[in-house]
Structure 1
Amino acid sequence: MNMELQTKKQMNIFKKIWLGGISVVFLLLALGVVYESISSYIGVKNSPPPGQLVDVGDFKLHIHKQGTGSPTIILESASGSASNVWHDIPNELATFATVVTYDRGGYGWSEKASSDRTGVNIAKELYSALKKEDIEGPYILVGHSLGGMYSRLFAKLYSDEVEGVVLIDSRHEGYSEKTNPLLLEAGFNPVLSGYPPKHILNLLKQTGIIRILNIGNPDTETSVNIEMRPKFFDAREDELRNLAATEAALSDQSLGQIPLRVLTHGKPIDFVSFGLTEEQSRFMEDVWQQQQEQSLQLSSNSQLIVAKSSGHFIIHDQPELVINTIKNLVNEIR
């Protein structure tokens, strides 16, 4: 009998501890939600958009124009990158041309779009914003990574207004076909490109966990307040889930005689750090570089430029090379 009473007492104690622990967790989560809500409101209020919010139908697109004169250089960011990812590059380019940076629907200061995040929709939204702001061509399109595919689609849709294209370590439309089987074999979800699902990221954001992890780092303050919001996680994942449609839209593209410059990284990407084997990592790198060379076939006036000191983010590793490549192309067109 005493043993039974003692066991019951122990069970009651464990139950109270467990319920207490659960209560503490829920209390912390509730405090996190309040903390994030207040901090996010203040952060957004203190970080106004540098450009204009332009109505493109069902949402407003943030577009930032700098400089004057022709041509107009349009900078298209990579997946997961807002317009401020270009750092000082727009300022340098604005000394000799008009420069446009912008946030795709859901990114940065732009509102969330209701249409699917296909490359065609993204290109049409940008074109609409340019026309509404009276930012005329001729255009030189500069796209980094996935942004290179969106730049190419813009050139395909509005070829008469495009005079040059610069692809900065741009993803090729055949990359998924070549690499998805390997990624699936290695246990990765190729659709999300290694990112956690949006519902997990939204939960981490709304409970303040993302902000807490970045406390004390001033470099990420704008990112946490402006970029890492639920609308961004939704948009990025939607872009990736619509990647097949974007790739298909580029399958038969030809730029004709439009000048094309292809910048590719010189330092091999180490996919081993992402969980692949060395052999798999070499395969991924080989496919990427082979397809960079294949991109030259898009135009009869093309050139491959290797950024020898750069990884994938050439715009950060060798910004001067990016600026000079664009400047040389502008001078050639003029």
Structure 2
Amino acid sequence: MGRRVCSYDRAGYAWSEDGPSPRTAERAAGELHTLLAAAGEAGPYVLVGHSYGGNTVRVFADRRRDLTAGLVLVDVTDETAVTALQISRPLLAVQLTVNQLAARLGPLRLLGDALLPPDATPAARTHTMVVYGDRSMAAARAESWASVDSAAQVRATVRPRAWGDLPAVVIAAGGQPVEVTAHARRLAALSSRGRLVVATTTEHYVQNAQPDLVLDAIHEVIAAHGRG
């Protein structure tokens, strides 16, 4: 039997409509549920989240455990790094505002690669005016400004064995400080069927550098769910 794979852009990104404020993880999780229901995609779902997207799927799994078949978390944001979030929030807001102006006024279109971050993926570079466009930068700024509240919402989901026996694979990029790997290990331990995988790549976008690693994790979680 075939399985469907669905991906989406959170509210405000790319061609998705803007969403109401504040742009917290809890709101994003609620919008994801609404989207899946409106699309007629019946659960339960294996939820795959990368970076900030991990916040969304972790809150979704906590609120709608009945619709969650398993989790694959790829180098996700650390919800305990509150001080770092508080410090970086205004800096990110300024940076994203500058990026938004560059997209709106034309320098991004003219200069292209010169204005993109060094870790921009080939796909992001190909679609610069969408990925780093005016609306996407506004959405990113709104999410970063709500990041402290989002982190608190995610922390509230963390309890011993919070995921029960939910199949879960937590993937961390390699070469990171020991505390980053320790955080990923603690996440995996939230499930009796959780597992930590440390990638050989040091790239944050593990799914681009080692796609087979992520695909194997997804297949593993699907198979584990099928075994009950």
Name the TM tier (shorter chain): 0.7 to 0.9
Is the partner of 1:124 in helix, strand or coil? helix
Q: Within 5 Å, which residues of 2 pair with 1:92-241?
A: 96-177=2-83, 179=84, 189-191=87-89, 194=92, 196-214=94-112, 220-224=125-129, 226-241=130-145
Equivalent residue, structure 2, for 1:243: 147
1:150-179 deviation per Cα after TM superposition (whole angstroms, max 9, x unaligned): 1101101111111101111111210234x4
Is the partner of 2:62 in helix, strand or coil? helix
Asked whether the 8 Å contact 1:116–1:242 carries over to 2, the reply is: yes
Give the unaligned 5+ runs of structure 1. Answer: 1-68, 70-95, 182-188, 269-284
- Distance in structure 1 (CA, Å) of the matches to 2:6 and 2:26: 19
Is the partner of 1:140 in helix, strand or coil? strand
TM-score, normalization by structure 1: 0.60
Q: Is it true that 1:267 corresponds to 2:172 in the alignment?
A: no
Q: Cα gap change, 1:306/1:211 in structure 2, threshold over 3 Å: closer, same or farther?
A: same
Match for 2:210 among 290, 296, 318? 318
- Larger RCO: 1 or 2 (CA < 8 Å, sep 6+): 2
1:78-119 deviation per Cα after TM superposition (whole angstroms, max 9, x unaligned): xxxxxxxxxxxxxxxxxx521110000110110222332111
1:254-299 deviation per Cα after TM superposition (whole angstroms, max 9, x unaligned): 212211111111133xxxxxxxxxxxxxxxx233222111212321
Could you list the structure 1 runs, at least 4 aligned residues long, displaced by more than 6 angstroms after superposition. Answer: none
Q: Cα gap change, 1:193/1:310 in structure 2, threshold over 3 Å: closer, same or farther?
A: farther
Is the partner of 2:70 in helix, strand or coil? strand
Is the partner of 2:148 in helix, strand or coil? helix
What is the Cα deviation at residue 180 of structure 1? Answer: 5.4
The one-letter amino acid of 2:99's match is L
Give the unaligned 5+ runs of structure 2. Answer: 115-121
1:230-255 deviation per Cα after TM superposition (whole angstroms, max 9, x unaligned): 22111101111111111111223221
Q: Cα gap change, 1:298/1:132 in structure 2, threshold over 3 Å: closer, same or farther?
A: same
Q: Cα gap change, 1:248/1:204 in structure 2, threshold over 3 Å: closer, same or farther?
A: same
The one-letter amino acid of 1:147's match is G
What is the Cα deviation at residue 193 of structure 1? Answer: 6.6
Asked whether the 8 Å contact 2:92–2:144 carries over to 1, the reply is: no
Asked whether the 8 Å contact 1:144–1:168 carries over to 2, the reply is: yes
Which protein is bigger by CA-based radius of gyration?
1
Equivalent residue, structure 2, for 1:61: none
Is the partner of 2:6 in helix, strand or coil? strand
1:25-68 deviation per Cα after TM superposition (whole angstroms, max 9, x unaligned): xxxxxxxxxxxxxxxxxxxxxxxxxxxxxxxxxxxxxxxxxxxx
Equivalent residue, structure 1, for 2:181: 289
- Distance in structure 2 (CA, Å) of the matches to 1:255 and 1:193: 34
